[in-house]
A = this chain, B = another copy of it.
């Protein structure tokens, strides 16, 4: 598991450290709403708040040992700000604590509960919606040292892990058993963060999202009590589905400290095809045809012309050498237990898309070519980031719509972004009706920033008009709190808040995420806000 720590360290180096260390913490609830776009904020006097949180941190340190608590400015900064996030808070934690067991987390929570101090769980720090920021200050709980595989049950096809385990490392450790966790988020992601955001990635079309692979979670509640949501059967209809309630709750209902994951069999045979189309509409209509045929692909991804240009010109050597077509392109992964089956799938695919104006097609003829072709898709995000000019920022976000509306929303969103004259590219998990748009802008250019933000709002608003969701796989964080209200309406949000209130009556678990903190909350930070 050393590699996890290394990956995290690299990741953290890449996080920006530009945010000024302020004497006042500005509580920023960035509006992402299509309706009410007025920024809201209030100012917390630092002294009293810091004193209470410090008291809690020192009590934690006295119980878990001094090494378990960091007050280091850089440490606090890297846990409070991310270059990758479209939304950041200028609020910062007072201390970072490093538990080594569920019991440690339980003790931390009991102390924080006693003082009414906010607790923010921290995984790999790769949230793009500000899920791990500290708008109400408090204590960050970092799971770097809870990175153990607790038990592997190959015969039951499950594994028990701590939240700090990196999923790439986990899958490497399972290779010998021929098993894997079939999610595919950022390679830096840890299981804890993946649970908290209900992540997915390119494999979701075939395998579903994180909620579909979590058998149970051990959770430390707001007051330090520890529960386990269920045992290890692959199927159950016993009692409320607490597991699915904690998955995707972004640490606002409890802190997940152990996870039992269902595993899938690594497909014996795979193949890859890359096919370009004259328009996004053609590509989407080919994708729809494939989906409706019942052909079970392992992945069905879309990259737009801009994104194809980026990987073609700035990708790794093997990708650049392919000289892929620079028009909207589908990336298809085939998989199955037999070569005959995979071959039959490929033939059927070729028949299906004949009538959809396919352009250049690349069908992998070797394992190496398979890797090289898929690399174009895998390198997309990193390549795009690498061409970002110094000082520029990336506004990256995603939505999901019913699949028949995908082509339309992508085309409209592209048009909007193009009209701004900024770099904008689109990557779509087209099999799920889910896509990401990334726009580059100069944050010092206030007008440009506002225009980019406005284009993102428009995209979110359109997704709702099409009966979709404001977040397909990155959760709500701080970035989309208002949009969530637009999506679900006040009464549904009210039900969510009732559940929050029932499990975290002091609102100290990751406050200011998913929903704004209510007046009347008894958390320290909230008291300061009144």
Stretch from A14-22, A246-254, A302-310 at the B interface: A246-254
In whole angstroms, what is the CA distance A168 to B211 when docked? 28
In whole angstroms, what is the CA distance A235 to B212 when docked? 11
Contact A296/B296 with A235-B204, A468-B233 known, Cβ cut-off 8 Å: yes
Q: Does A41 contact B (CB under 8 A)?
A: no
- A233-256 CB mask vs B (1 if < 8 Å, else 0) is 111111111101101110001000
Q: Does A181 contact B (CB under 8 A)?
A: no
In whole angstroms, what is the CA distance A178 to B292 when docked? 8
Q: Does A82 contact B (CB under 8 A)?
A: no
- Specify which chain B residues have a CB less than 8 angstroms from the CB of A493 in the assembled complex: 239
- A217-242 CB mask vs B (1 if < 8 Å, else 0) is 00001000111111111111111111
Q: Does A341 contact B (CB under 8 A)?
A: yes
Stretch from A262-270, A272-280, A413-421 at the B interface: A262-270
Contact A226/B491 with A294-B268, A402-B156, A467-B231 known, Cβ cut-off 8 Å: yes
Q: Does A401 contact B (CB under 8 A)?
A: yes
Q: Are B211 and A404 in contact (CB under 8 A)?
A: no
- Specify which chain B residues have a CB less than 8 angstroms from the CB of A469 in the assembled complex: 230-231, 233, 235-236, 238
In whole angstroms, what is the CA distance A245 to B248 when docked? 13
In whole angstroms, what is the CA distance A343 to B343 when docked? 13
Interface footprint category on A: 35 or more
In whole angstroms, what is the CA distance A401 to B489 when docked? 40
Q: Are B502 and A239 in contact (CB under 8 A)?
A: no
Q: Does A147 contact B (CB under 8 A)?
A: no
- Specify which chain B residues have a CB less than 8 angstroms from the CB of A345 in the assembled complex: 337-338, 341
In whole angstroms, what is the CA distance A317 to B253 when docked? 56
- Specify which chain B residues have a CB less than 8 angstroms from the CB of A209 in the assembled complex: 235, 237
- Specify which chain B residues have a CB less than 8 angstroms from the CB of A467 in the assembled complex: 231-233
Stretch from A192-200, A359-367, A378-386 at the B interface: A192-200
Q: Does A282 contact B (CB under 8 A)?
A: no
Contact A484/B238 with A225-B491, A341-B336 known, Cβ cut-off 8 Å: yes
Q: Are B476 and A239 in contact (CB under 8 A)?
A: yes
Q: Does A492 contact B (CB under 8 A)?
A: yes
Q: Are A344 and B348 in contact (CB under 8 A)?
A: no
Q: Are B237 and A473 in contact (CB under 8 A)?
A: yes
Q: Does A328 contact B (CB under 8 A)?
A: no
Q: Are B337 and A487 in contact (CB under 8 A)?
A: no
Contact A156/B495 with A233-B472, A237-B471 known, Cβ cut-off 8 Å: no
In whole angstroms, what is the CA distance A300 to B242 when docked? 28
In whole angstroms, what is the CA distance A293 to B231 when docked? 25
Q: Are A211 and B241 in contact (CB under 8 A)?
A: yes
In whole angstroms, what is the CA distance A499 to B405 when docked? 36
Q: Does A52 contact B (CB under 8 A)?
A: no
Q: Are A433 and B241 in contact (CB under 8 A)?
A: no
In whole angstroms, what is the CA distance A433 to B234 when docked? 7
Q: Are A235 and B200 in contact (CB under 8 A)?
A: yes
- Specify which chain B residues have a CB less than 8 angstroms from the CB of A200 in the assembled complex: 235, 237
Q: Are B157 and A292 in contact (CB under 8 A)?
A: yes
In whole angstroms, what is the CA distance A291 to B227 when docked? 31
- Specify which chain B residues have a CB less than 8 angstroms from the CB of A403 in the assembled complex: 155-157, 234
CB-based closest 3 A-B pairs: A265-B294, A155-B404, A244-B244
